[in-house]
Structure 1
Amino acid sequence: MISLQPINIADHTFLSISVELPKTNLLMITNEIGYIMCGALDVGLLNEKLKDRKVIAGRAVGVKTIEELLEAPLESVTYEAENLGIKKGTIGRDALLAMI
């Protein structure tokens, strides 16, 4: 099942996307600037092979719900996210607010 839900954080709207897969869930929260995602995100690929795309993204591991993704510290972030002040350890919610 795929679920798309708007999320409001400090009067800013983001889109949460959940995809239920066998034995796991794919989770992400996005806006027009960037996104945070569960452990399925390959930050290394974005930083190295797709560097020219300048993707703003962060990855949290061990999360099972959108709520956990919002509260989890990011395990890794792209170079472009770092340029916005988003660092490893930034809480998901705070990272999203840096993307406005």
Structure 2
Amino acid sequence: MMTVNPLEIEGMQYTAVTVELPRTTLLVISNEVGYIMCGALDVDLLNDRLADRKVISGRAAGVKTIDELLEAPLEKITNASKVYGWEPGMTGKDALLKIA
């Protein structure tokens, strides 16, 4: 099953996507600038092979819900996200507010 819901964080609008798959769930929160995602995100691929796309993105591992994704520290971020002040260790919520 897939759900797509609007998500408001401190008055800013985002989209939360949950995709339930066998034995795992994909989680994404995005806006028109960038996104954060669960551990399934391949940050190295975005930084290396797709660097020319300058994707603004970060990954939090071990999360199972959208709320956990917001509160978890980002373990990895793309190089392009550094322009917005993203750093590994910041919460997903804090990262998203920087691209609001």
Q: Spell out the pairing of 1:17-32 with structure 2 (5 A cutoff).
A: 17-32=17-32
Rounded to whole Å, the distance in 1 between the matches of 2:11 and 2:66 is 18
Q: CA deviation at 1:82?
A: 1.2
Task: Using structure 2 for the length normalisation, give the TM-score.
Answer: 0.99
Q: CA deviation at 1:90?
A: 0.7
Match in the other structure for 1:55: 55
Rounded to whole Å, the distance in 2 between the matches of 1:78 and 1:4 is 24
Which residue type is aligned with residue 70 of structure 1?
L
Which residue type is aligned with residue 39 of structure 1?
G
Rounded to whole Å, the distance in 1 between the matches of 2:22 and 2:73 is 25
Q: Give the CA RMSD over aligned residues.
A: 0.5
Q: CA deviation at 1:98?
A: 0.6
Q: CA deviation at 1:10?
A: 1.1
Aligned length: 100
Rounded to whole Å, the distance in 1 between the matches of 2:87 and 2:72 is 13
Q: Spell out the pairing of 1:19-98 with structure 2 (5 A cutoff).
A: 19-98=19-98
Q: CA deviation at 1:12?
A: 0.5
Q: CA deviation at 1:83?
A: 1.5
Paired-residue identity, %: 56
Rounded to whole Å, the distance in 1 between the matches of 2:55 and 2:75 is 16
Segments of structure 2 that go 5 or more residues without pairing to the other structure are none
